[in-house]
Structure 1
Amino acid sequence: MLFPSLKPALRGNQPLDLIWLALGSVPLVEFAAHAKPGALVLDLQHGLWDRMQLEAAVGAASGRVPVIVRCAENSHAAIAHALDAGAASVLVPLVESVDDARRAVSAGRYPPFGSRSAGGVRPLLAGVDAMLAADREVAIGLLIETVQGIERIDEIAAVSGVDYLFIGTGDLSLSRGTADAEVIERDCERVLHVARTHGLPCGIFTGEAGAARRAFANGYRMSVSANDIDMVKQGFLTARERACGAL
């Protein structure tokens, strides 16, 4: 494996704090990695990352911190895009069925375990044997973020090759048609329970450090302690308030 694997942390019992990055800034990735979180998430579904930025970001961070890539979609091309850059894990969006889960797992594995195509600049650096060794360390995460995904969570979690489940709370609220905390919490608790039943770590998107801490206390293994959009936005707002608020 060229870069740190996520799998040892997934096998452990310690909380895994995540920093979520969407702005497409490689320098921000370096700052985030310097904070030594459990892992970084590069959001290719809604973020501003292009292919060259992704390659540079993984290179900047992965010597110190495992990198998870939230793929743009559940397709062979999108998953290969992330893994060829050297990501330790892919977080595959909008998984709503067993077929979706199987497609994600297959796209993330080389034959005979899957259908991932061999290639990419980083995977080819050390040759075929190193590629196959790295393949064993790739972690496949599934984003559960719709009502359909919640309703089929038992079957999804049972798919062989899935390494963890992750709840996308924002999209789940949209899918439910409500942001009612009690309704969304029931959905989240159902996913958490099923994940535990199948021996899978379960993560959840949280907006800030306090919410992440509460998620860990409630049994989630992964949560988001910070994201670049909110950190930058709040930093500017706070600085201006301190400079001009009393004038």
Structure 2
Amino acid sequence: MFDPKRPTLKTMIASGRCIGAAWFSLGSAALVELALKSEPDAIVIDMQHGLWDRRELEAVIGMVPSRIPVIVRVAENTALAIGTALDAGAEGVIVPLVESAKEARAAVRHALYPPHGNRSGGGVRPLKDFQSYVAGADGIAVIVMIETEKGLDAAEDIIAVDGIDMVFIGTGDLSLSLGAFPIHRHDHTVACADIHKACRAGYMPCGIFTGRPEFATVARGQGYRLVTIANDIDMVQRSFVEAAKRFRDPPAPAVTQVPAAGTASLPAGSGPALENKRKGDA
């Protein structure tokens, strides 16, 4: 949960390191609690496509220690959606489907209190010590998503907007927008590279949705600054698929010892059973 006296997300961004985030869509605070044992750099709660409601959002952010920033991908670029996430204690927002500098400026305004923005004052957590919260609210990070062809065309203008802390490439929607789904064709790869190049030219940190650790590692090597090392849908689904596959097609049993000449090898675990049978026969 965001501690306005000790912000962590903007500090991570400023350090130049690559932030490895765990992404959650299933609406389960229990899954987040289990994942915290792995100490991810950041937690992302997906309110756009995820199953989270307001009460669960409040609960899950409350359980995350302040050293691990919580970022909320909001449902839309509105004052209500962004204010709701920040009132719940998020340290940053990811704003989807930003396609122009005007929309990027609106996202920044929605995250800031007057006179620089239009965020409404309220929320249970901010009001616990509202004076301190307002004083530290400049520690909140605004991340905008470029994930459409229009956003790609306006990338340089979006990057130039004051108050944006990072651009995040939404690979799935970008693929759909470019007609490159389900196979990420060459033009999709080029589009991601073009956005990343524009960010570097504009001294803007750039993140990208990767979803799995092997892809996240590659993206880190390419200079991306926020990657998704895991997402709950993929992790849960792959675990169940793998378990069912191992049950249907179990590996060959291991041999516990080298058999003596003329004897059959014993599968693992059968030695004690055989010994017990001999004792019973005796």
Give your verdict on TM over 0.5.
yes
Preserved contact between residue 22 and residue 230 of structure 2 (Cα < 8 Å): yes
TM-score (norm 2): 0.84
Task: Provide the residue aligned with 1:138 in structure 2.
Answer: 140
Contact 1:145 1:167 (C-alpha < 8 Å) held by counterparts: yes
Match status 1:221 vs 2:225: yes
Q: How many residues align?
A: 246
Cross-structure match for 2:238: 234
State the distance in 2 between where 1:233 and 1:199 align: 38
Q: CA deviation at 1:181?
A: 3.1
2:149 aligned partner: 147
SS at match of 1:136: helix
Q: CA RMSD in A?
A: 1.4
2:71 to 44, 52, 68: 68
Cα deviation per residue 1:171-205 (whole Å; 9 max; x = unaligned)?
Answer: 00111111333111111111111111222210000
Separation of aligned partners in 2, 1:175 and 1:75: 22
1:21 aligns with 2:24: yes
In percent, how many aligned pairs have the same letter?
46
Cα distance in 2 for partners of 1:106, 1:6 equals 19
TM-score normalised over the length of structure 1:
0.96
**Counterparts in 2 of 1:197-216, with a 5 A limit?**
197-216=201-220
Counterpart-to-counterpart distance in 2, 1:148 and 1:29: 34
The match for 1:95 is 98
SS, match of residue 158 in structure 2: helix
Deviation (angstroms), 1:46? 0.1
CA contact (8 A) 1:44 1:72 kept: yes
2:121 is the counterpart of 1:118: yes
Deviation at 1:27, TM superposition (A): 0.9
Task: Say whether 1:195 aligns with 2:195.
Answer: no
CA distance in 2, matches of 1:136, 1:207: 29
Question: How far off its partner does 1:246 sit?
Answer: 3.9
Residue 48 (structure 2) aligned to one of 45, 48, 72: 45
State how far apart, in whole Å, the 1-side matches of 2:44 and 2:136 are.
Answer: 19
Q: Which residue of 1 aligns with 2:255?
A: none
Give the Cα–Cα distance (whole angstroms) in 2 for the partners of residues 201 and 17 of structure 1: 14
Once residues 11 and 135 of structure 2 are traced to their aligned partners in structure 1, the CA distance between those partners, rounded to angstroms, is 15
Q: Deviations over 1:5-32 (max 9, x none)?
A: 3100000122110111000000111122
Q: 1:172 aligns with which of 171, 174, 184?
A: 174
Q: Secondary structure at the match of 1:241?
A: helix
Computing the radius of gyration from Cα coordinates, the structure with the larger value is: 2
CA contact (8 A) 2:70 2:90 kept: yes
Contact 2:145/2:167 (<8 A) preserved: yes
Q: Deviations over 1:72-91 (max 9, x none)?
A: 00000000010000000000
Work out which of the residue numbers 107, 112, 120 in structure 2 matches 1:109: 112
CA contact (8 A) 2:171 2:209 kept: yes
- C-alpha contact 1:33 1:64 (8 A) present in aligned 2: no
Query: Is residue 8–residue 67 contact of structure 2 (8 Å, CA) maintained in 1?
Result: no
Partner in structure 2 of residue 160 of structure 1: 162
- Give the AA of the match of 1:14: R
Residues 91-143 of structure 1 show CA distances to partners (whole Å, capped at 9, x for unaligned) of 0000001111011000000112211010001000112x212123110000001
- Aligned residue in 2 for 1:10: 13
- Give the match's secondary structure for 2:142: strand
C-alpha distance in structure 2 between counterparts of 1:142 and 1:181, whole Å: 24
- Deviation per CA, 1:27-83, whole angstroms, max 9, x where unpaired? 111122221111111000000000000000101114341000000000000000100
Instruction: Flag the 1:175–1:11 CA change in 2: closer, same or farther, 3 A.
Output: same
Measure the CA separation in 2 of the matches of 1:144 and 1:68. Answer: 17
TM superposition shift of 1:147: 0.2
Amino acid at match of 1:197: A
